[in-house]
Structure 1
Amino acid sequence: MLSFLLLLFLLPSSSNALDFCVGELTLPETPAGYPCKPPAKLTVDDFIFTGFKKAGNTSNIISAAVSPAFTAQFPGVNGLGISAARLDLAPNGVIPLHTHPAASELLIVTQGAILAGFISSANDVYYKTLKKGDLMVFPQGLLHFQINARGINSVAIVSFSSPSPGLQITTLALFAGSLPSPIIEKVTFLDDAQVKKLKAVLGGTG
Structure 2
Amino acid sequence: MKGVQFLLSLAVLALATSIASASDPSPLQDFCVAVDDLFSGLNVPRDTNNPVGSNVTQLNVDKIPGLNTLGITLARIDYAPFGQNPPHTHPRGSEIVVVAKGTLYVGFVSSNQDENRLFTKVLNEGDVFVFPMGMIHFQFNPRHIPAIAFAGLSSQNAGTITIANSVFGSDPSINPDVLAKAFQVDKNVIDKLQKQFWYDNNN
Place the TM-score, normalised by the shorter chain, in its bin.
0.7 to 0.9
Q: Match of 1:156? A: 149
Structure 1 residues 162 and 51, CA gap change in structure 2 (3 angstroms): farther
Pick one of 186, 202, 205 that aligns with 2:181.
186
Q: Match of 1:202? A: 197
Say if 2:138 is the partner of 1:145. Answer: yes
> What displacement does 1:169 show?
0.9
Q: Percent identity?
A: 37
Structure 1 residues 201 and 62, CA gap change in structure 2 (3 angstroms): same
| Post-superposition CA distance 1:153-197 (Å, at most 9, x none) | 100000000010001111111111211211111111122222122
- Aligned residue for 2:57, secondary structure, equals strand
Contact residue 109 and residue 135 of structure 2 kept, 8 A: yes
Contact residue 54 and residue 84 of structure 2 kept, 8 A: yes
CA distance in 2, matches of 1:132, 1:102: 27
What does 1:15-94 correspond to in 2, within 5 Å? 18-22=29-33, 42-43=34-35, 46=37, 48-94=38-84
The TM-score normalised by the length of structure 2 is 0.77
Structure 2 unaligned spans of 5+:
1-27, 199-203
> What displacement does 1:91 show?
1.1
- The one-letter code matched in structure 2 to 1:84 is L
Say if 2:91 is the partner of 1:96. Answer: no
> What displacement does 1:18 show?
4.6
How many residue pairs get matched?
166
CA distance in 1, matches of 2:64, 2:41: 9
- Aligned residue for 1:198, secondary structure, equals helix
Contact residue 29 and residue 69 of structure 2 kept, 8 A: no
CA distance in 1, matches of 2:107, 2:41: 26
CA distance in 2, matches of 1:192, 1:92: 30
| Post-superposition CA distance 1:29-76 (Å, at most 9, x none) | xxxxxxxxxxxxx43x52x43241212221211011000100111222
CA distance in 2, matches of 1:92, 1:195: 26
Contact residue 45 and residue 78 of structure 2 kept, 8 A: yes
- Aligned residue for 1:60, secondary structure, equals coil
Q: Cα RMSD over matched residues?
A: 1.6
- The one-letter code matched in structure 1 to 2:96 is L
Q: Match of 2:165? A: 172
Larger RCO of the pair (alpha carbons < 8 Å, separation 6+): 2
CA distance in 1, matches of 2:105, 2:72: 24
